[in-house]
Structure 1
């Protein structure tokens, strides 16, 4: 592993409870992490989640798109593993989500090669899910690509809000991050979801945005975790790169190959 020869500061925008892996990797390269979450995940026991739990024994598939949805269910329903029927199959997007599903004893039957909604839909093309009842707990701010794609395949999808993705109530760290970007005190920045990028621009003032885009595109190495986040950055006219495999580890390796 090649260590950074000069002091390198890498901004991490993912939620506080998700920063440990990124921080560890940044420090292993001899760089300094600057933690400034632009996103907060709030676990919620909504009416739609209660409805999903009531139908747990009837599910043919249960899809988890992030570890947070698993954490939420088991926080509010610790015996959830006993509620789902033994024939219910579990699909997860990403190895971290798979690991958490296994930790809670759910097991995993399907993990797509590409860690996106599109990748999971591609995997389901090989499976007959016509008339299947599929539970999909997630944040409602997520894209509609997955539920709409599953319904086109003939499945009945129960969409349940298991957590909220919100801008942190305390935005001081985000404001400091914007200031550091504008004053060229950051060498690289990582975005692990579309909302981590969108929220940064929501906090920035209209006067700051043009220079923010300029710095992120030309002076700072901007790295997205995958093509969906990269597409969001492009919407703001920010140039970024992303790895072939959409994980934090691969994102960080790409960053330090290009810094």
Structure 2
């Protein structure tokens, strides 16, 4: 637990070190948790902008903001956003969002577009760690697909406090928001010589992940996943993790 005088659970969160980590900390605190902020992602813009195409797919709020800052406009393109946060950022930029899939994942995007894009050019603008599921699925649906890398995701040099805490048994929960946060967490743990101990510590805690691809990455690494919310967004993840921690604590009494 968080300290000797409190039963407040410690929950590690790995959002990028901007307003997202601050919002995540505030949300977790409002849910009765002691957030351990350990940003596992740093954004390095490439200064590229999406290609002109009849369909343009944007897969993150960060990508929208970078494209908007560079002066890009969707014009007459059918603009597709992977989820509500991305769509909200696009609308804040003054753009019209034409489609948001029911499932906020690469597979959800394919399902939403596969009956529309046969013979069409689809531009996918995203990070350098985007899933191959999206490109392959759109091509299988008959689309000509291009991809523009708007930014690269790297691991901050000082990341890893949470890995040391997990190894020491000092975390009650962790909330992973992408496969890359899992990979970077484990890399940071390995650099500290505590990779196996950190995995053991996580397996004694509540582990929440934002969707099936992240769950698969965690499981393949030996991490037991306890929580996968129905909605692939951070608020749903945080609430599900907080609920699971309470349930586990109650069961131990």
* Length-normalised TM-score, structure 1: 0.86
Whether 1:139 and 2:127 are equivalent positions in the alignment is: yes
What are the superposed Cα offsets for residues 161-215 of structure 1, whole Å, 9 maximum, x if unpaired?
10001111x22x41x2222111122111110000000011112228522222111
* Aligned-pair CA distance for 1:126: 3.4
SS at match of 2:130: coil
**Contact 1:21/1:248, CA 8 A, preserved across alignment:** no
Q: Is the 8 A contact 2:82 2:101 kept in 1?
A: yes
Aligned partner of 1:181 in structure 2 is 166
- Does the CA contact (< 8 Å) of 1:44 and 1:72 recur in 2? no
**CA offset digits 1:4-46 (Å, max 9, x no partner):** x822111111211221332121111232111101111112114
Displacement after TM superposition at 1:140 (Å): 2.1
Corresponding residue for residue 250 of structure 2? none
In structure 1, list runs of 5 or more residues that go unmatched: none
Distance 1:8 1:251 in 2: 16
Match of residue 12 from structure 1? 13
Supply the distance in 1 between the matched residues of 2:166 and 2:200 (Cα, whole angstroms).
Answer: 10
The verdict on how the C-alpha distance between 1:155 and 1:125 changes in structure 2, with shifts beyond 3 A counting, is closer
- 1:93-172 pair list within 5 angstroms: 93-127=82-116, 129-168=117-156, 170-171=157-158
Alignment of 1:72 onto 2:73: no
Q: Match for residue 23 of structure 2? A: 21
Shift of 1:125: 3.0
Asked whether the 8 Å contact 2:107–2:133 carries over to 1, the reply is yes
Deviation string, structure 1 residues 107-165 (Cα, Å, up to 9, x no partner): 111111111110111111332x1221111111122221111111111211121010001
Aligned residues: 237
Classify the secondary structure of the residue corresponding to 1:19: helix
Counterpart secondary structure, 1:110: coil
Aligned to 1:60: 54
Structural mapping, 1:75-90, within 5 Å: 75-76=69-70, 78=71, 80-81=72-73, 84-86=74-76, 88-90=77-79
Unaligned runs of 5+ in 2: 1-5, 246-253
